[in-house]
Chain A
Amino acid sequence: MDRMAIAAHGLKKHYGKVHALKGIDIDVGEGEIFGLIGADGSGKTSLFRILTTLIVPDEGTATVNGFDVVRDFWKIRKEIGYMPGRFSLYQDLTVRENLDFFATVFNTSIQENYDLIREIWVQLEPFSTRRAGALSGGMKQKLALCCALVHRPSVLFLDEPTTGVDPVSRKEFWTMLERFNREGISILVSTPYMDEAELCDRIALIEDGRILEIGSPGELSGRFTGDLWSINADRLNRLLPVLKKHPLVETCFSFGSSIHLTTEAGAVTEKDLISWLGHHGQGEVSIQHISPTIEDRFLSLSAEGEHR
């Protein structure tokens, strides 16, 4: 990473009594896909709004493409694309009118960067005379992305582009992102989906206005300390309360078709867990020692946060 697309240091922002950002530091290298992973209310959107120059921080500094978000905001606005979490296009303009409008605002035309947006535009074109407000959720999302790309930005900000989107469309969306990234566009993207975190070059886990951790997906799951166990049985929901009562169990969560349970390294063996479950009338189980995913890391970090 030679040059930074985004550099933020000590960003703080509050609204009345609510401290949305409590000191955020992130660096996004040129050409990176950087993921911001956290729940609603964790501060993701405030960070986006500062970096896209829509609000100013209370404290701290940030640059995008080397320009200061407060002093040089007009320069930044020409170079970035922003897709907010809430649909923010003109509902009473047609699909085509919205795109034309954004192209004109950025002093360009649909034709000028057509190769970049072609893939999305061909899907939108059949609806080009429909008002944006009458589009389905998936189509609105595609139109918003198209409008954010029409001036070929060098940095793209996507705030929860896939929330409420089905798994197939999410995969397609990420395939497009990877293509834009190959064309040299740096991307800051936020998501509540942990499987999307795995697709980023680096990610930051954010909770309650603070960054918990930054690194590549591999680095983050590698920092998981302790033992992680996967437990399978027919009626998983009966096992949860039993396992939670075990004195050496730190966290215990459903994980799709199994339960993931954490303990300190070496605290228990597979046999211990089986006999504990057996004592509580849960005989038919299988237990495996497994490697952690990002979601496991996130869950153990948030559990630590609750104990603090």
Chain B
Amino acid sequence: MSAITVTDLTKKFGSFTAVDHINFLVKDGEIFGFLGANGAGKTTAMRMLTGLLRPTAGTGIVAGYDIRKESEKVKANIGYMSQRFALYGDMTVDENIRLFGGIYGMTRREIQGKRDKLLDNLGLSTQRNSLVSTLPLGWKQKLAFSVSIFHSPRIVFLDEPTGGVDPASRRRFWEMIYEAAESGITVFVTTHYMDEAEYCDRVSIMVDGRIEALDTPGRLKEEYQVSSMDEVFQMIARKAQRTAD
């Protein structure tokens, strides 16, 4: 069974087609990299897949639910994290965990049962009553990721999760992604770091609202006869016709 099935998914804003008949499958347990230039339509596609935006045409099944007819069920069965907005800085570590657990539909008992283990795994037990704004960025990011998968979703969507982070934290973060994938959670991730594209099982590259390439990093490099995903990206994304606006 696939975690995400997208058929002819399309979104128009007035006369502008932001996402233009895209088709793809994401397998269960896969780390899927969703790449594209700024303005290629990634955010719009992601907003449709997470049930936040209604498609103009086409269908999408995410975690077994129809993004058009069952968007609330989609939301309850996925996790979401972005670098731009992750946690509430003026709430404590513990409060954030309880808030997001609650939002994702966990009961008080479930939250209590898993909370200590999570804090322990992250080495944050002694800081559970600290405001999130006082944590170093690398820790905040690990906590945000842990919170996004706290309710054991089938799929987690990560929107540029590592922007602006130092090289060592960026790598430790990817080790957490691997662990989540090993535990069976499907990972759907966007990034502008092309070394991170290499860590994905498969990647797609969007250009002007369409998916121009989709394969494993290894096969894409072979097909374009280059040695890195950065070169693959440069070759494909330079075909873009429309401006970033």
Q: Name the distance in Å between A45's Cβ and chain B's nearest Cβ.
A: 11
Pair A253/B163 contact, Cβ less than 8 Å: no
Pair A256/B194 contact, Cβ less than 8 Å: yes
Interface size on A, residues (CB 8 A): 41
Given contacts A167-B237, A302-B168, contact A257 B37 (CB under 8 A): no
The size class of the interface chain B forms with chain A is 35 or more
- Using CB atoms, name the residue of chain B closest to A195: B230
A165 to B38, CA, bound (A): 7
Pair B166/A42 contact, Cβ less than 8 Å: yes
Given contacts A123-B243, A257-B217, contact A194 B38 (CB under 8 A): no
Query: Is A175's beta carbon under 8 Å from chain B?
Result: no
Q: Which of B136, B164, B229 contacts A256 (CB 8 A)?
A: B229
Pair B137/A302 contact, Cβ less than 8 Å: no
Q: Which of B165, B195, B237 contacts A168 (CB 8 A)?
A: B237
Complex interface residues of chain B between 142 and 182 (CB less than 8 A to chain A): 160, 163-169, 171, 174-175, 178, 182
- Using CB atoms, name the residue of chain B closest to A306: B168
A171 to B237, CA, bound (A): 12
Q: Name the distance in Å between A291's Cβ and chain B's nearest Cβ.
A: 16
Pair A169/B37 contact, Cβ less than 8 Å: yes
A40 to B137, CA, bound (A): 7
Pair B37/A40 contact, Cβ less than 8 Å: no
Query: Is B15's beta carbon under 8 Å from chain A?
Result: no
Query: Is B32's beta carbon under 8 Å from chain A?
Result: no
Pair A194/B39 contact, Cβ less than 8 Å: no
A123 to B174, CA, bound (A): 37
A257 to B237, CA, bound (A): 21
Given contacts A194-B167, A254-B171, contact A169 B234 (CB under 8 A): no
Query: Is A283's beta carbon under 8 Å from chain B?
Result: no
Query: Is B36's beta carbon under 8 Å from chain A?
Result: yes
Given contacts A167-B234, A167-B237, A168-B237, contact A302 B244 (CB under 8 A): no
A207 to B39, CA, bound (A): 32
Pair B234/A171 contact, Cβ less than 8 Å: yes
Which residues of the other chain, B, contact A165 by a CB distance below 8 angstroms?
A: 38, 192
Q: Name the distance in Å between B187's Cβ and chain A's nearest Cβ.
A: 12
Which residues of the other chain, B, contact A192 by a CB distance below 8 angstroms?
A: 163-166
Which residues of the other chain, A, contact B166 by a CB distance below 8 angstroms?
A: 38-39, 42, 192, 207, 302
* A-B residue pairs in contact (CB < 8 Å), sample of 25: A39-B138, A39-B166, A40-B164, A40-B165, A136-B38, A136-B244, A138-B38, A139-B244, A139-B245, A164-B160, A165-B192, A167-B192, A167-B233, A167-B234, A168-B238, A192-B164, A192-B166, A237-B182, A240-B175, A253-B167, A254-B171, A256-B195, A256-B199, A257-B228, A303-B168
Assuming A163-B163, A166-B37, A168-B233, what are 16 further A-B pairs, CB within 8 angstroms? A39-B137, A39-B138, A39-B167, A139-B245, A164-B192, A169-B37, A192-B166, A193-B193, A195-B230, A237-B175, A237-B178, A253-B168, A256-B194, A256-B198, A257-B198, A257-B228
